[in-house]
Amino acid sequence: MKKYATLTGFLLTVLLMLAFTQSHASTQAQSSSFTITHPTVVSLAPSGSYVVIGKPTISASFINRVLAAYDSPAKGRGQALYSLGVKYGIDPVYALAFFLHESRFGTTGEARVTLSLGNERCITDRPCIDRQLGGYAQMESWEDGFEHWYMLILYGYVQGKVTIPLVGHPCKTIDQIVPVYAPSSDHNDVKAYIQAIKSAVDTWRAGRIFV
């Protein structure tokens, strides 16, 4: 009788160990599946939120995929665009969206020469070119152009150094920023510009490449 009791205890121990192992493996599989399914999302923004300040909502590798897909001359510089966004507290998905709208990632217009993400007009710390066209800032590199755009958005718009004298308050959302950044007086379709930025942001946050 003692022999059978010992054997029963042994079998029970083995069964409990097998159950624990299977449960642990299942948990690992679920965790791995989540990682594969969401490779581009870094953090989630509130639904319908287009406030430019905040943590990145797309990854550096995803930015590289977008730039490569559009054959941008700035391709391979996704890490720089991402890291500078972190440095200035601006979600890089917005920098990418402005880059697309302003010059299709540097493939059209002045940006092909100026290396300027946002087609910035003349500024004091960079040479001014094409004055006959109103003048554009010549950046030193794509990375330099990225950083100047982030500085403009943070100091000029979010903190209000540009916008307060013009509209009386800081601008932190796309709906507030675009009318100052690309005013109708400069022959811009403000409503279409805002929608284009939001559409690009939504597309990339959903993990899709092409807008």
Q: How many domains does the chain have?
A: 2
Predicted confidence at residue 42, as pLDDT, reads 73
Tens of pLDDT along the chain (211 residues) come to 434 344 344 444 444 444 434 444 443 333 333 333 345 767 777 666 799 999 999 999 999 999 999 999 999 999 999 999 999 999 999 999 999 999 999 999 999 999 999 999 999 999 999 999 999 999 999 999 999 999 999 999 999 999 999 999 999 999 999 999 999 999 999 999 999 999 999 999 999 999 9
pLDDT tens per residue across span 73-106: 999 999 999 999 999 999 999 999 999 999 999 9
The three-point CA angle 120-121-124 to 5° equals: 100
Q: Are residues 27 and 77 in the same domain?
A: no
Asked whether the beta carbons of 98 and 85 are under 8 A apart, the reply is no
Residue 114 included in any domain: yes
Q: How far apart are CA 111 and CA 99, in angstroms?
A: 9
Q: Do 13 and 89 reside in the same domain of the chain?
A: no
Residues 137 and 82 in one domain: yes
- Same domain? For 71 and 105 the reply is yes
pLDDT at 49: 78
Residues 152, 77 share a domain? yes
Residues 106 and 189 in one domain: yes
Distance CA 160, CA 10 (A): 73
- Give yes or no: residues 110 and 25 share one domain: no
Q: Which domain holds residue 155?
A: 60-205
180: domain CATH number? 1.10.530.10
The pLDDT score that the predictor gives to residue 149 is 98
Does 28 share its domain with 69?
A: no
48: in domain: no
> In terms of domains, do 105 and 15 share one?
no
Residues 159 and 67 in one domain: yes
Same domain assignment for residues 129 and 29: no
31 and 65 in a single domain? The answer is: no
